[in-house]
């Protein structure tokens, strides 16, 4: 390895470290500012993400907890507590899976759908503020790169024996 290659490797490693740390900072900042932004709706960013996932037309009749955990990329254990809080508020319900009587599905209640509708103006204004200097092209490129990164993280997880 010559000096130029060694410098490039060091530069790439430093750049990767900065990028990973920046993603960590952004995730934490999203959690903090998103929860504060949605305070008047009495919803955290985790609850917001779950409700947002449940409005997907594919899951209108419900989604299995393990599948929802995979969509949100969280552990079932972490999801269980948040789901219990949403259920106690009457925003979600657990229903029997008609194709597998042993399995329960999670879906929004009419109150959950109403909460989602009430949140929309604040969600849009949060996104406008968070992405104020980004063009649609910037957003498309960022989404592309984040999808590639997420795919790579899933590959790493599977190599480590995770569920992906």
Identify the pLDDT of residue 4. Answer: 59
Question: Which pTM was predicted?
Answer: 0.85
96-141 pLDDT per residue, tens? 877 777 778 999 999 999 999 999 999 999 999 999 999 999 999 9
DSSP lists the bridge partners of residue 38 as none
What are the domain boundaries of the chain? 1-37, 45-119, 133-164
Report how far apart the first and last C-alpha atoms of the chain are (Å, whole number): 35
Going through the chain in order, the beta strands assigned E by DSSP cover 63-64, 92-97, 100-108
Fold of 45-119: Arc Repressor Mutant, subunit A (1.10.10)
Identify the pLDDT of residue 152. Answer: 95
For residue 135, CA distances in Å to 5, 101, 131, 132, 161 come to 36, 48, 8, 8, 39
What is the pLDDT averaged over residues 26-32?
96
47-99 pLDDT per residue, tens? 999 999 999 999 988 999 999 999 999 988 989 999 999 999 999 999 887 77
What is the pLDDT averaged over residues 4-20?
82
């Amino acid at each position: 390895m010559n000096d130029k290659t060694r410098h490039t490797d060091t530069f790439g490693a430093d750049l990767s470290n900065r990028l990973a740390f920046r993603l960590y900072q952004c995730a934490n900042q999203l959690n903090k500012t998103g929860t504060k932004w949605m305070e008047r709706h009495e919803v955290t960013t985790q609850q917001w993400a779950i409700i947002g996932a449940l409005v997907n037309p594919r899951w209108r009749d419900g989604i299995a907890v393990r599948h929802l955990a995979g969509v949100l990329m969280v552990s079932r254990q972490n999801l269980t507590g948040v789901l219990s809080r949403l259920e106690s508020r009457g925003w979600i319900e657990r229903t029997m899976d008609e194709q597998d009587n042993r399995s329960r599905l999670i879906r929004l209640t009419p109150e959950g759908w109403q909460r989602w509708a009430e949140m929309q103006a604040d969600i849009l204004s949060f996104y406008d503020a968070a992405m104020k200097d980004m063009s649609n092209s910037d957003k498309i490129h960022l989404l592309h790169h984040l999808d590639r990164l997420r795919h790579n993280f899933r590959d790493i997880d599977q190599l480590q024996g995770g569920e992906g």
